Amino acid sequence: MIRVLLADDEPLIRAGVRAVLSADPGLEVVAEASDGHEAITRTLEHRPDVVLLDIRMPRMDGLETVAELRRVAPGTAVVMLTTFSEDAYIARALADGADGFLLKTGDPKELLSGIRAVAEGGVCLAPKVARRVVGELAGDRLSRGAAARERVERLTPREREVLALLGEGLSNAEIARRLHLVEGTVKMHVSSILVRLEAPNRVRAAITAHEAGLV
């Protein structure tokens, strides 16, 4: 069972998302919050596997909240679920540690599969968001590639293998099967990769894999 916390200042939106999630027997909404402060408090109380965060909320918005959640609840996956897809929002959310960025206008199936992906250690990006991220990578490819290759040189050969599969969007369990490792070993490799690359999360590590030409 994947435990989920919903954070959105609009009760009607929370009710709609809850209805979508309740249709999946493998998901359980354990708490709701109407702003960032409440989301942090409820996360520490209920320890959900995944937090769904809106961006624009009173008192403390989703962008501030994701950075604080990374500090106080590093084991909880965070997905932005919003109507706002401006590049600045996407870049800041991913840089501050969000594991995914989905749009409220997307297909409910994307939401369900995205929650499962991040709960299993993967990442999720709405197709529209993914295109923008890829476009950003292509915009300054040479300089980014050189810097990424330099960072990747810090990794061991096995860590480079794991990073390449991270870049393909695989979860820890999928990487373990692909490399014939136990999942705990993959988790240790991922933790080491994030430290060596100075990456805040798997999304940034995956981007580095693309920039360095591992994918």
Please check the confidence at residue 141 and state whether its pLDDT lies above 60: no
State the average pLDDT over residues 78-98.
82
Measured distance CA(186)–CA(171) in Å, rounded: 10
Residue 11 — very low, low, confident or very high, per pLDDT cuts 50/70/90? Answer: very high
Q: Is the pLDDT of residue 31 over 60?
A: yes
Cβ neighbours of residue 125 under 8 Å, at least 6 residues apart? 100, 101, 102, 133, 203
Q: Give the pLDDT score at 7.
A: 96
Buried b (16+ CB within 10 A) or exposed e, 5-44: bbbbbeeeebeebeeebeeeeebebbbbbbbbbbbbebbe
The pLDDT > 90 percentage for the chain reads 49
What confidence score (pLDDT) does residue 96 get?
81
Which DSSP letter does residue 9 get? S
Q: Residue 6's Cα: distance from chain center in Å? A: 15
Cα dist from 125 to 70, 81, 106, 129, whole Å:
18, 10, 11, 6
| Of 207, 212, 211, residue with least CA distance to 95 | 207
Q: Is residue 5 within 8 Å of residue 11, measured between CB atoms?
A: no
pLDDT of residue 115 exceeding 60:
yes
